[in-house]
Homo-oligomer: A and B are copies of this chain.
């Protein structure tokens, strides 16, 4: 699967993933109004939640239609959907399928991770399938999933097995983009290495049996907000593809990101969520208005791609 992602990035000359993380706070009012009027009732959660979930899906659909020719991948953040209960999970399910129909690779930002048999269930839920009386069916069916490493190898191995069986991929959290990520991840161990380096080495090791072209299907999440640590990790994990969140709204610039890539311009993909999907609320894209939120997202995506091409010298 990582070979497909690398190929798509190359074809579009755009190492950019659009984060589909809708929030009630920036959903255009007309979309929510309309969805609340027409929402189907559900026995599993309130009517308002069902309306909001429908609005999330419509919001995503318009954005996906506006950016699908520009980028190789999208990254829906499942937490945003999960807060809307069952209707929200249905909106997530529909979003994954809609994006795949449009030819986009879907990175499910689910940050799952548990002990052995439970991680197996998560791996089946997001990347694999279940077999019931010999009938094989798929639950959420993303192409990649993000995974939390805190439980160690036997929490990660079940995901890798599914990746190897079904040509899927994972991105393991190594150094996250948030301000307090250093509390545990930057701790110095007795041999003078940081925790994130130890996790990074494990990610490299886990990925060795999952090579798919130049890179492994076992990738890493390294926050765009930590360029120094990224340089160390890039050198430590040469065949590990990096998913870098934190560009834009979290403060990282394209120049911060150069060290995430190899000299040939491959090796990483940069995520922006709010900076793209809520672009219409920024002064720079205000001319599109609330009704033009999808065109604003397209304009912001083009600007981000140009910005990265400039910094990487791939213009």
Contact = CB atoms under 8 A, between A and B. Distances in A.
Contacts of A126: 82
Given A148-B150, A195-B195, A130 B185 contact: no
B79 A112 contact: yes
Contact of A152 (B94, B113, B140, B178): B178
B153 A183 contact: yes
Contact of A190 (B23, B138, B182, B192): B192
A162 to B, nearest CB: 11
Contacts of A32: 132-133
Contacts of A178: 115-116, 151-152, 154-155
A82 B131 CA distance: 14
Interface string A191-227: 0100100110010000000000000000000000000
Interface residues of A, number: 76
A171 to B, nearest CB: 13
Interface string A39-71: 000001110110110000000000000000000
Contact of A24 (B84, B115, B130, B199): B130
B195 A173 contact: no
Given A190-B189, A190-B192, A45 B83 contact: no
B198 A49 contact: no
A278 to B, nearest CB: 12
B132 A151 contact: no
Interface stretch (A117-125, A235-243, A259-267, A299-307): A117-125
A77 interface: yes
A290 interface: no
A90 B189 CA distance: 44
Interface in A60-112: 77, 79-80, 82-86, 88-90, 93-94, 111-112
Contacts of A180: 151-155
A143 interface: no
A137 interface: yes
B52 A130 contact: yes
A151 B176 contact: yes
A36 interface: yes
A187 B184 contact: no
A114 B140 CA distance: 20
Contact of A49 (B79, B80, B132, B151): B132
Contacts of A77: 114, 118, 121
A185 B115 CA distance: 14
A119 B138 CA distance: 27
9 contacts: A45-B139, A46-B137, A79-B121, A82-B140, A83-B125, A152-B182, A155-B180, A187-B198, A189-B189
Given A85-B137, A85-B139, 4 more contacts: A48-B137, A49-B132, A149-B184, A151-B178
- In the A-B complex, the 4 residue pairs with the closest CB atoms: A85-B139, A152-B180, A152-B183, A46-B137
